[in-house]
């Protein structure tokens, strides 16, 4: 299959996945008991502390129903939802008292700044450690328990531990971040701003890298052990090639599933990142999501879900492109996947 | 499995110290969740003096809000374990059934299941759990039927969003077995496909299904505690439901580390032990990894 067809096919698949995901999100909220969308709009309309007569409430309710289009037939409601989504209207957040899209556009940048470098760093570090552990028996004995405990640690718990040890007990970094710590570096760059940024950024970054690394390392270790026991590796060994060289060949095979694995694991990493940034009060979507859940801010939750779904799907597509670069069989169009 | 393989498995398991250590940790924590509530006079919503360090009357201390951490942990463990367990059971049941069908029948059924799997992999399913958890679950008191219902509901939601791992694993095993000679013999001798499935295929992948179940249990637990932290909880005293509250009250600054570190260590020990049990069992069941 030519390369262009392959890429085009992947694009279509991801488009379908996005439509399905958004449809699920829409349906879950539309059919939720107690109609949270209606409640949310009503809450935004009604001024607090003012007593209304039941008739007035009824008027508000009618207006809210019309605004949301709940009086339309179901399929028109669905089309209306897509039409609004495509022009970037995701509703009104009662928590921020602002449009969801406007707020999320601000917030999501901070998440990208945190999650992207952390994911890439942990992937490289984890794969390197895992392949090393597969080759060196002594290292393996030490690393296995560490790797497994790290994988087993929910992100937010490691975040708590790091915040306590390095933020409170030793006081090297900031345990609680304010959004100015992060913003300053970009609006008003100076040495002070950089120091402040690093003090705030290091802990969430390190925790995210550490937990995610465990998964990559344990996966890579297993893959390398299988590769090193395969026939070609035994053959290379028997004709006297060095361990290093054999490992470099095995690594080329073992790395492929890890690249696809990156796309598969992204969902876990993202939710981990959200929980973790909640611990540090990092100005991303994490803390926002926690408040949105507490306030039952339906449009904000829906907005975050759609933004992140789009981000994960885009990332998956980029990973597919990287995979083409790494795997010569795909690049040369030798196999039809 | 022949008797010889059985005895080899037993010999290997007997001397695998990793397996026994981790199994006892898992059993200890399960016992703690089952029997713990009977050994403490405090209910998880009883308020006593806040910020007491661990001592004889409060073995795990008390937290920022004045709750006894030991009773909060044992009651919370019940909730989290139940949610994780339900998730694993649902994921395994659905996953094994669909994996068997996809592997045996192939064709259009296989492609449908494959497409669902691909969608579930490509989207962050946790947001579906969050939406369901926020808008479909209502609060409940301790020990009420409502609480149990919430646990089953959240567990089932998690399970229905992670069965595809099991299905994929089972499907590939079934396809490998389907083309083997002894299955061909069994089909040729006139056995129905249901009988082939029950008598020839299932017994051979049973140990594999067990491993996948344990992995799913660990994943279900990890997901359920993360959801608890984010505010999706089956009960008011889910294990980590209060962490966010403590943080806002400055529990870190006030050095009340026992309130989150002890339950945290319990859950990490539990999940890590489950992973290592899988690793140990894999060394036993998988001939390629056996070190005799």
Q: Is residue B47 in a domain?
A: no
Would the CB atoms of A148 and B275 count as touching at under 8 Å? yes
Q: Is residue B162 in a domain?
A: yes
Total domains present in chain B: 1
Residue A328 pLDDT > 80: no
Which residues are registered as beta bridge partners of B62? B68
Residue A222 pLDDT > 80: yes
Q: How confident is the model at residue A337 (pLDDT cuts 50, 70, 90)?
A: very low
Q: Is residue B95 in a domain?
A: yes
Cβ neighbours, 10 Å, residue A77: 15
Average model confidence (pLDDT) across chain A: 85
Which residues are registered as beta bridge partners of B274? none
Would the CB atoms of B131 and A25 count as touching at under 8 Å? yes
**What single string gives the DSSP state of each residue in A227-268?**
HHTSHHHHHHHHTT--HHHHHHHHHHHHHHHHHHHHHHHHHH
CATH of the domain at B216: 1.10.3720.10
Q: Is residue B45 in a domain?
A: no
Domain that holds residue B13: 9-34+60-289
Q: Is residue B222 in a domain?
A: yes
Measured at the CA of A216, the angle between CA A212 and CA A220, to 5 degrees, comes to: 170
Q: Tell me the chain B residues in contact with residue A29 when contact means C-beta distances shorter than 8 Å.
A: 131, 135
Q: Is residue B105 in a domain?
A: yes
Cα distance from A192 to chain B (closest Cα, Å)? 25
The beta-carbon neighbor of A290 closest among B136, B244, B271 is B244
Q: What does the pLDDT read at residue B249?
A: 77
Q: Please give the Cα distance from B203 to A81 (Å, whole number).
A: 50
- What number is the average pLDDT over the span A154-159? 88
Q: Tell me the chain B residues in contact with residue A304 when contact means C-beta distances shorter than 8 Å.
A: 127
Say how many residues make up chain B.
292
Cα distance from B134 to chain A (closest Cα, Å)? 6
Would the CB atoms of B289 and A225 count as touching at under 8 Å? yes
The beta-carbon neighbor of B125 closest among A13, A164, A267 is A267
The beta-carbon neighbor of A293 closest among B231, B247, B264 is B231
Q: Tell me the chain A residues in contact with residue B126 when contact means C-beta distances shorter than 8 Å.
A: 267, 270-271
Cβ neighbours, 10 Å, residue A132: 17
Query: pLDDT per position in chain B (292 positions), as tens?
Result: 566 777 777 887 888 888 899 999 999 999 999 888 888 778 777 777 777 778 877 888 788 777 888 888 888 898 899 999 999 999 999 999 999 989 888 889 889 998 898 888 888 888 999 999 888 887 655 567 788 888 899 999 999 999 999 998 899 888 888 888 888 888 888 888 888 888 888 888 888 899 999 999 999 999 999 999 888 888 877 788 888 878 877 777 777 888 888 899 999 999 999 988 988 888 887 766 665 4
Q: Tell me the chain A residues in contact with residue B127 when contact means C-beta distances shorter than 8 Å.
A: 25, 301, 304-305, 308-309
Q: Tell me the chain B residues in contact with residue A305 when contact means C-beta distances shorter than 8 Å.
A: 124, 127-128, 130-131
Q: How far is CA B5 from CA A180, B183, B286, in A?
A: 64, 19, 11
């Amino acid at each position: 299959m030519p390369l262009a067809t392959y890429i085009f096919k992947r694009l279509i698949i991801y488009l379908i996945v996005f439509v399905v995901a958004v449809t699920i999100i829409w349906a879950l909220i539309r059919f939720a008991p107690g109609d949270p969308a209606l409640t949310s709009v009503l809450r935004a309309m009604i001024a607090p502390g003012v007593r209304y007569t039941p008739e007035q409430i009824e008027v508000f309710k009618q207006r809210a129903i019309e605004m949301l289009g709940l009086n339309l037939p179901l399929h028109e409601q669905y089309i209306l939802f897509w039409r609004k989504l495509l022009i970037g209207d995701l509703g009104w957040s009662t928590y921020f008292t602002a449009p969801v899209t406007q707020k999320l556009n601000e917030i999501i940048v901070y998440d990208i700044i945190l999650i992207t470098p952390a994911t890439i760093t942990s992937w490289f570090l984890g794969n390197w450690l895992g392949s090393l552990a597969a080759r060196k028996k002594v290292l393996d004995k030490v690393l296995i328990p560490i790797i497994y405990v790290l994988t087993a640690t929910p992100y937010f718990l490691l975040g708590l531990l790091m915040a306590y040890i390095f933020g409170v007990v030793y006081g090297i970094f900031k345990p609680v971040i304010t959004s100015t710590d992060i913003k300053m570096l970009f609006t008003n760059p100076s040495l002070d701003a950089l120091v402040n940024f690093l003090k705030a950024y290091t802990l969430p970054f390190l925790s995210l890298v550490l937990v995610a690394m465990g998964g990559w390392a344990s996966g890579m270790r297993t893959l390398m052990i299988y590769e090193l026991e395969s026939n070609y590796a035994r053959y290379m060994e028997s004709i006297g090639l060095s361990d290093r060289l054999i490992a470099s060949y095995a690594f080329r095979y073992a790395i492929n599933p890890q690249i696809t694995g990156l796309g598969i694991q992204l969902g876990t990493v993202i939710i981990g990142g959200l929980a973790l940034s909640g611990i540090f009060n990092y100005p991303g979507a994490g803390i926002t999501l926690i408040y949105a859940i507490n306030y039952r801010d339906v449009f904000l939750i829906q907005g975050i879900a759609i933004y992140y779904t789009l981000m994960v799907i885009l990332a998956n597509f980029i990973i597919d492109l990287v995979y083409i670069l790494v795997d010569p069989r795909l690049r040369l169009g030798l196999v039809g996947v | 499995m022949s008797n010889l393989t059985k005895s080899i498995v037993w010999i290997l398991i007997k001397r695998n110290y990793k397996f026994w250590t981790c199994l006892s940790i898992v059993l200890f924590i399960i016992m703690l969740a089952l029997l713990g509530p009977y050994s403490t006079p405090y209910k998880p919503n009883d308020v006593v003096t806040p910020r007491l360090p661990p001592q004889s009357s409060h073995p795990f201390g008390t937290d920022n809000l004045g709750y006894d951490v030991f009773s909060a942990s044992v009651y919370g463990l019940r909730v989290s374990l139940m949610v994780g367990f339900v998730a694993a059971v649902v994921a395994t049941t659905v996953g094994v059934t669909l994996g068997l069908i996809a592997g045996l029948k192939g064709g259009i059924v296989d492609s449908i299941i494959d497409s669902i799997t691909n969608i579930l992999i490509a989207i962050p399913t946790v947001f579906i759990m969050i939406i369901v958890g926020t808008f479909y679950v209502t609060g409940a008191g301790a020990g009420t039927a409502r609480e149990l219902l919430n646990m089953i509901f959240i567990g089932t939601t998690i399970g229905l969003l992670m069965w595809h791992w099991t299905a994929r694993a089972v499907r590939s095993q079934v396809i490998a077995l389907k083309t083997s000679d002894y299955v061909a013999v069994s089909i040729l001798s006139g056995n129905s496909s249901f009988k082939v499935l029950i008598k020839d295929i299932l017994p051979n992948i049973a140990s594999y299904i067990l491993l996948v179940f344990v992995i799913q249990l660990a994943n279900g637990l990890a997901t359920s505690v993360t959801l608890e932290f984010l505010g999706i909880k089956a009960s008011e005293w889910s294990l980590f439901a209060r962490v966010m509250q403590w943080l806002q009250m400055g529990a870190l600054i006030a050095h009340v580390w026992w309130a989150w570190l002890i339950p945290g260590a319990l859950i990490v020990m539990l999940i890590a032990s489950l992973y290592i049990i899988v690793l140990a069992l894999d060394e036993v069941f998988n001939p390629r990894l056996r070190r005799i």
